């Protein structure tokens, strides 16, 4: 099905981006999604106000640039071809009030620490993508919440406060989402240390903590190996350290509120880039082949992802590959499986097998969170770390048995010491959930749980 078309070289120079023209937009049919069936439509009250907001956003400078987007696609091609690993993580739902320096740095540091464990332990470069600087829209399973109010749909649409007026969709929130994303991206870009000593210090900060915890004992062997690898890298020459110094963090969000992502799309060299973020994904609820969301992301040049839940068939996965990556470019498409630990070993093998047999180039990524959500005995939405770990183990088993590259992981996490996911005797038990349950939507791993997961991944990758 797929030819052996050459991958065009990645353009690394910063090009002058000509202003978007209506002609270019029309040729690329960037508004075709407006005519298609669409799920999860924000209940905007006034289309004229939406249009006015989008016209304003259309004139704003973008959050990211085309050359960075191409650079990420190139790095994901390395993942696709088995030479790198993709680590993606951050909030389920960012909030405007939570968009603080400490929160952003907490997430970024946690990702860097996890990446370091995976790089040292698994001897593989890690591409880091944050669910930050734009993760403001949420798909909902029900239009109303447990109080009978209109559902909270993320800060880009309405407010979380439980009152009818707060839950009204307000298009002006797209401007706030843009402003918040811009300041977040500014900080994320400026922050990651490019000095090895800083990175080492960052790692030291939490390494002792991990070693002192029950997880540390469990991962004693890999911890020791990471320590030896660090000593080796320290003793080695500067050029060999370069890979560790590469600590760029890209940003990502779900392509859900299409009005917003479309308004921040710009034409560069004849191609459309959704410059609201580097990497955009389509969620499990909106991935219908002939619907609006798939149509929109099919027309942009960004690296994109699609979530696949346990109901996804191998045929549906192949259709998505053909539709979203007709040129079969490595790094263009990431298939994000979120099967749940009880289904991953049954459902996932046929998908990987058929997609591989069809010759489709994809990055495989495991989201071990969304298939493992449950209610705690006190009514908190939570996830058990042992189920998260079990899905990851199942995911790696499937890839090992099929000889395919287990490209990456995608998790909801925060650098803060929250109590949202259960890990039994290791720290968060049922009765601890109310202590620091702060998420605006789904439960996130805290820093210690995130690091434990990274150590597990490092251990598996080491073989
Ligand atoms: C999410 O990533 O927060 C999400 C809603 O995921 P999914 O589409 O897989 O349910
Ligand atoms: Mn979520």
Please give the pLDDT value at position 8. Answer: 38
Q: Tell me, what's the pLDDT at 2? A: 55
CA angle 207, 211, 214 (to 5 degrees): 135
Query: Residue 92: CB within 6 Å of ligand 1?
Result: yes
240, two tokens: 């060999």
> How many Cβ atoms from other residues are within 10 Å of residue 451's Cβ?
26
26 within a domain of the structure (yes/no) = yes
For tokens 């991958």, what's the residue?
7
E strand or H helix at 334, and its extent?
strand 333-337
- Per-residue pLDDT of 60-87, as tens digits, reads 999 999 999 999 999 999 999 999 999 9
Residue 403: strand, helix, or coil: coil
- Can you give the pLDDT at residue 1? 46
Give the pTM.
Answer: 0.93
CATH of the domain at 145: 3.20.20.70
**Within-domain flag for 232:** no
| Residue 388 neighbours by CB distance under 10 Å | 28
Please work out whether the CB of residue 410 comes within 6 Å of at least one atom of ligand 1: no
Tally of domains within the chain: 1
- The answer to whether position 338 is within a domain reads yes
Q: Side-chain half-sphere of 164: how many Cα atoms within 13 Å?
A: 1
In short, whether 307's Cβ falls inside 6 Å of ligand 1 is yes
* pLDDT value at residue 9: 37
Task: Please give the pLDDT value at position 242.
Answer: 60
The annotation status of 412 as a binding-site residue, yes or no, is yes
5 is in an annotated binding site: no
**Would you state the structure tokens that stand for residue 88, as one six-digit string?**
């993606």
d(CA 134, CA 180): 8
Annotated binding-site residue? 374: no
- Residue 122: HSE in the Cβ half-sphere, 13 Å Cα cutoff: 26
> Does ligand 1 come within 6 angstroms of the Cβ of 118?
no
Q: Name the residue with tokens 């909106």.
A: 286
Q: What pLDDT was estimated at residue 196?
A: 57
Instruction: Find tokens 């407010």 and name the residue.
Output: 159
For residue 5, being part of any structural domain is answered with no
Phi, psi of 55 (to 5 degrees): -65, -40
CA atoms within 13 A on the CB side of 257: 30
Cβ contacts of 156 within 8 Å, gap of 6 or more: 136, 137, 173, 174, 176, 177, 257, 260
238 in a structural domain: no
- Residue with CA at minimum distance from ligand 1 atom 6: 283
Nearest to 42 by CA among 246, 262, 325, 281: 262
Dihedral-angle region of residue 272 (phi above 0 means left; psi in -120 to 50 means alpha; beta otherwise): beta
Which segments in the chain show pLDDT lower than 50?
1, 3-20
Which of left, alpha, beta for 359 (phi over 0: left; psi -120 to 50: alpha)?
A: left
- Cβ burial of 431 (10 Å; 0-12, 13-18, 19+) is exposed
Instruction: Kindly state if the Cβ of 50 falls inside 6 Å of ligand 1.
Output: no
Q: Identify the pLDDT of residue 425.
A: 66
Q: Is 291 annotated as a binding residue?
A: no
CA distance 275 to 347: 35
Place of tokens 């969000």: 253
Return the pLDDT at 197. Answer: 61
The answer to whether 297 and 255 are in contact (CB under 8 A) is: yes
Judge residue 407's burial from the number of C-beta atoms within 10 Å of its C-beta, 0-12 exposed, 13-18 middle, 19 or more buried. Answer: buried
Residue of 252, 284, 411, 412 to mutate, ligand 1, most atoms within 8 A of C-beta:
284
Q: Which atom of ligand 1 is nearest to the CA of 92?
A: 3
92 annotated as a binding-site residue: yes
Is residue 231 included in any domain, yes or no?
no
Strands 363-366 and 408-412, bridge-based pairing? parallel
pLDDT of residue 223: 78
Q: Are 334 and 85 in contact (CB under 8 A)?
A: no
Residue 296 main-chain phi, psi, to 5 deg: -65, -50
Nearest CA to ligand 1 atom 10: 284
Q: Which atom of ligand 1 is nearest to the CA of 284?
A: 8
In angstroms, how far is CA 174 from the centroid of its own chain? 20
Q: Whose CA is nearest to atom 1 of ligand 1?
A: 92
Phi/psi region, residue 215 (left: phi>0; alpha: psi -120 to 50; beta: rest), is: alpha
Cα end-to-end span (Å), the chain? 33
Residue 6 Cα to chain centre, angstroms: 28
ipTM: 0.99
Q: Is 442 annotated as a binding residue?
A: yes
User: Tens digits of per-residue pLDDT, 31-63?
Assistant: 999 999 999 999 999 999 999 999 999 999 999
Decide whether any atom of ligand 1 lies within 6 Å of the 131 Cβ: no
- Spacing, Cα 29 to ligand 2 middle (Å): 30
Q: Does residue 377 lie in a domain region?
A: yes
Q: Which domain holds residue 422?
A: 11-192+248-461
User: Is there a domain that residue 203 lies in?
Assistant: no
* Number of neighbours of residue 391 by Cβ within 10 angstroms: 27
């Amino acid at each position: 099905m797929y030819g052996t078309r050459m991958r065009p070289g990645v353009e690394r120079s910063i090009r002058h981006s000509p202003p978007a023209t209506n002609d270019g937009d029309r040729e690329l049919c960037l508004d075709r999604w407006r005519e298609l069936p669409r799920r999860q439509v924000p209940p905007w009250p006034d289309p004229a106000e939406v249009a006015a907001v989008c016209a304003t956003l259309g004139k704003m400078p973008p959050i990211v640039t085309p050359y960075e987007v191409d650079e990420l696609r190139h790095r994901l091609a390395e993942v696709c071809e088995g030479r790198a690993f993709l680590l993606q993580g951050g909030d389920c739902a960012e909030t405007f009030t939570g968009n603080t320096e400490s929160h952003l740095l907490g997430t970024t540091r946690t990702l860097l620490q996890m990446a370091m464990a995976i790089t040292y332990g698994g001897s593989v470069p890690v591409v880091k993508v944050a669910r930050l600087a734009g993760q403001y829209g949420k798909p909902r399973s029900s239009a109303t919440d447990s109080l009978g109010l209109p559902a909270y749909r993320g800060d880009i649409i309405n407010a979380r406060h439980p009152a009818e007026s707060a839950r009204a969709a307000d298009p002006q929130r797209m401007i706030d989402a843009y402003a918040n994303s811009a300041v977040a991206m500014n900080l994320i870009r400026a922050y990651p240390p490019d000095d090895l000593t800083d990175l080492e210090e960052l790692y030291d900060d939490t390494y002792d903590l991990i070693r002192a915890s029950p997880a540390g004992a469990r991962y004693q062997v890999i911890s020791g190996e990471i320590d030896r690898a660090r000593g080796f890298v320290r003793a080695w020459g500067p050029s060999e350290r370069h890979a560790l110094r590469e600590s760029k963090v890209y940003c990502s969000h779900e392509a859900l509120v299409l009005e917003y992502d479309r308004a921040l799309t710009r034409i560069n060299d004849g191609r459309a880039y959704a410059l609201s973020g580097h990497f955009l994904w389509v969620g499990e609820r909106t991935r219908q082949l002939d619907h609006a969301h798939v149509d929109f992301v099919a027309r942009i040049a960004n690296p994109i992802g699609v979530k696949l839940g346990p109901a996804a068939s191998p045929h549906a996965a192949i259709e998505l590959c053909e539709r979203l990556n007709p040129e079969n470019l490595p790094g263009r498409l990431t298939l994000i499986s979120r099967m749940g630990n009880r289904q991953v070993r049954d459902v996932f093998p046929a998908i990987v097998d058929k997609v591989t047999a069809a010759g489709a180039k994809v990055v495989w990524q495991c989201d071990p969170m969304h298939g493992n959500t449950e209610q705690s005995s006190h009514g908190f939405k939570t996830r058990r770390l042992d189920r998260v770990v079990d899905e990851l183990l199942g995911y790696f088993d499937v890839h090992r048995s099929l000889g395919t590259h287990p490209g990456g992981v995608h998790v909801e996490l925060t650098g803060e010491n929250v109590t949202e996911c259960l890990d039994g005797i290791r720290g968060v038990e049922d009765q601890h959930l109310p202590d620091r349950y702060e998420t605006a939507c789904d439960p996130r791993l805290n820093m210690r749980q995130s690091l434990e997961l990274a150590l597990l991944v490092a251990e598996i990758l080491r073989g």
